[in-house]
């Protein structure tokens, strides 16, 4: 398939822990379009001190959320870059129906659209298991997982011998809440694209290679063929 022009985007939706980040970079590469993550865009704009970045910073300094329209402005600006000539893969946005409306309003103004949406689906229980078992080294920031990637000696970093700790964000109750908030806000977005017939659900609770094959199939791209 392939995106034909600026302003045609593919959305990748999935809860925290669904493995979306890894899959997003892979998919963008296969499609030959940039991987645009809203969190990265916001960080880059603030660091570079762009007009949009400074506007966002002002909200954050007051402890307010950055308005959806401002994030959409950053996305639209990113779509103007030469490497987005055939569109982009959007990762992590929209998360709410309001964001979805803001994004589509701007795309339509420019003659663009959401071409496809993909929802990487993983059972809530599995998401919490994946996220809750993470441990990090205080010294070198290496990460481990108590079940999937344990250190050889409990509580100690394999690479540097540093002490391992669990970030507050990775504690079970906090993780479960984060997942539930995501599902509450984002499932309506998933349903909306599904009703329009442009959403594909992918079972993300399978080995990475199998998920990748399903993603390629969903977007009609064959391995090794650059779109
Ligand atoms: Zn370490």
Q: Average pLDDT in the 148-170 region?
A: 91
pLDDT band at 61 (very low <50, low <70, confident <90, very high): very high
Q: Average pLDDT in the 188-215 region?
A: 95
Q: Label residue 42 exposed, middle or buried (CB < 10 Å: 0-12, 13-18, 19+).
A: buried
Provide the pLDDT for residue 223: 59
Q: Which residue has the higher pLDDT, 70 or 220?
A: 70
138 is catalytic: no
Residue 204 has which token pair? 């993300």
Least confidently predicted of 15-19, 44-48, 100-104, 212-216: 15-19
Q: If phi over 0 gives left and psi between -120 and 50 gives alpha, with beta otherwise, what is residue 112?
A: beta
Q: Average pLDDT in the 105-132 region?
A: 92
Question: Could you tell me the distance, in angstroms and rounded to a whole number, from the CA of residue 138 to the centre of ligand 1?
Answer: 7
Question: Could you tell me the distance, in angstroms and rounded to a whole number, from the CA of residue 143 to the centre of ligand 1?
Answer: 8
Provide the pLDDT for residue 155: 93
Q: Is the pLDDT of residue 226 over 70?
A: no
| Catalytic residue from among 138, 167, 172, 196 | 167
Provide the pLDDT for residue 220: 85
Provide the pLDDT for residue 20: 84
Q: Is the pLDDT of residue 128 over 50?
A: yes
196 is catalytic: no
Full-model pTM = 0.82
20 is catalytic: yes
Total residues belonging to the chain: 227
End-to-end CA distance of the chain: 7
Provide the pLDDT for residue 227: 40
Cα–Cα distance measured from residue 61 to residue 213, given in angstroms and rounded to the nearest whole number: 43
Considering the chain, what is the average pLDDT of its residues? Answer: 90
Question: Could you tell me the distance, in angstroms and rounded to a whole number, from the CA of residue 146 to the centre of ligand 1?
Answer: 15
**In this predicted model, what pLDDT tens digit does every residue of 8-54 receive, in sequence order?**
899 999 998 898 888 898 999 999 999 999 989 999 999 999 999 99
Question: Could you tell me the distance, in angstroms and rounded to a whole number, from the CA of residue 156 to the centre of ligand 1?
Answer: 8
Question: Could you tell me the distance, in angstroms and rounded to a whole number, from the CA of residue 144 to the centre of ligand 1?
Answer: 10
Question: Could you tell me the distance, in angstroms and rounded to a whole number, from the CA of residue 195 to the centre of ligand 1?
Answer: 47
78 is catalytic: no
Q: Where do the DSSP E strands lie in the chain?
A: 8-14, 35-37, 88-91, 113-121, 134-137, 143-145, 164-165, 199-203
Provide the pLDDT for residue 225: 46
Q: Is the pLDDT of residue 3 over 70?
A: no
| Catalytic residue from among 95, 106, 171, 200 | 95
Question: Could you tell me the distance, in angstroms and rounded to a whole number, from the CA of residue 26 to the centre of ligand 1?
Answer: 28
| Catalytic residue from among 115, 130, 134, 212 | 134
């Amino acid at each position: 398939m392939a995106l034909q022009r600026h302003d045609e985007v593919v959305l990748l939706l999935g809860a925290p822990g669904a493995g979306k980040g890894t899959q997003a970079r892979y998919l963008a590469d296969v499609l030959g379009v940039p991987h645009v993550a809203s969190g990265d865009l916001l960080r880059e704009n603030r660091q570079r001190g762009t007009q949009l970045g400074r506007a966002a910073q002002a909200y954050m300094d007051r402890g307010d959320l950055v308005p959806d329209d401002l994030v959409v402005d950053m996305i639209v600006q990113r779509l103007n870059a030469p490497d987005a000539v055939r569109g982009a893969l959007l990762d992590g946005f929209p998360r709410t129906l309001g964001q979805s409306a803001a994004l589509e309003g701007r795309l339509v103004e420019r003659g663009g659209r959401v071409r496809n949406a993909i929802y990487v689906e993983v059972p809530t229980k599995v998401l919490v298991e994946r996220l809750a078992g993470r441990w990090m080294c205080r010294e070198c920031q290496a990460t481990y997982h108590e079940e999937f990637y344990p250190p050889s000696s409990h509580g100690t970093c394999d690479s540097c011998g540093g002490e391992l700790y669990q970030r507050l964000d990775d504690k079970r109750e906090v993780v479960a809440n984060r997942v539930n908030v995501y599902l509450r806000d984002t499932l309506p977005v998933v349903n909306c694209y599904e009703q329009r017939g442009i959403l594909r659900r992918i079972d993300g609770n399978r080995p990475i290679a199998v998920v990748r094959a399903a993603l390629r199939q969903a977007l009609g791209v064959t391995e090794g063929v650059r779109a």
